[in-house]
Amino acid sequence: MAVMVSFQEWFQKYVRELNEAGVGSDDAATAAHLGWAITLTDQACYGVESATPVHFMAHPNPRHGHIVAGCGGARFKSEECYLVYAPHLKSQLDRMEAEYGGQVERHVLMAGIAVHEVRHRIQDREAAAVRLFSRTGLAGDWYDEQAAQVALNMYQQFAEWEAEDRAAGVPAEVRDRFYSDDEFDAAVVERLLLHRYASLETDAQLAQFVRMDCPKLRTFRG
């Protein structure tokens, strides 16, 4: 996959900047790797000339400390950009690895996060051309059984996470954003990436994956 700078240049620049901002070396290195994965995925979709920046944050997400990355753009009335929250990032990914029982390698987890964030860019730029996954659109005929099962699992996971956040006192407006249809769609695509990572060997295949339609044929009535 082509990029405008080498990985080594990218890595050294952002690790140094994060270190200077007070971020520890492990978190800074993890953030640089994640930012690189996001850039590669963005460029797979929009070409090596894509200038969408990655901003590395030396503080946690102010609304929810478990958020590791974000995507700015039309839905937030902000510049098109990606965000990587460096503090505690390594431990966050350690936790994610443990949740998968060590069956998903670190670089695949990062690829999934990258796909999630670039899917948000697709939502902003190409919503009319892509059939998104939706919690209210699970019933019906699906031509992809794995995608249907992943969407159902994510539906259940969202319900659990939202209940936990409600019990923890997370404000309703924050929950509404984190558990929106856009977030559900991106989360399903991210989880599917973990299953299908090995099959994506080219930029074109990765771009097609990020732009996937929800594979539902019709809705049951009765």
Look at residue 65 and tell me if it is in a domain: yes
Nearest of 154, 131, 127 to residue 143 by alpha carbon: 131
Cα–Cα distance for residue pair 178/61, rounded to 1 Å: 12
Split into its structural domains, the chain has a count of 1
Look at residue 58 and tell me if it is in a domain: yes
Look at residue 42 and tell me if it is in a domain: yes
Look at residue 1 and tell me if it is in a domain: no
Answer whether residue 222 shows pLDDT above 80. Answer: no
Predicted confidence (pLDDT) per residue in 182-214, tens digit: 999 999 999 999 999 999 999 999 999 999 999
Element (H, E) at 72: strand 69-72
Answer whether residue 49 shows pLDDT above 90. Answer: no
Position 164 scores a pLDDT of 93
Position 156 scores a pLDDT of 96
Look at residue 2 and tell me if it is in a domain: no
Look at residue 125 and tell me if it is in a domain: yes
Angle at 61 between CA 60 and CA 64, to 5 degrees: 115
Q: Are 132 and 123 in contact (CB under 8 A)?
A: yes
Mean pLDDT of 109-128: 95
| CB-based contacts of 51, cutoff 8 Å, min separation 6 | none
Cα–Cα distance for residue pair 109/68, rounded to 1 Å: 12
Look at residue 113 and tell me if it is in a domain: yes
Position 199 scores a pLDDT of 96
Higher model confidence: residue 137 or residue 151? 151
Q: Are 133 and 188 in contact (CB under 8 A)?
A: yes
pLDDT-derived band at 50 (thresholds 50, 70, 90) equals confident
Q: What is the model's pTM?
A: 0.92
Predicted confidence (pLDDT) per residue in 29-48, tens digit: 999 999 999 999 999 999 98
Domain that holds residue 77: 7-218
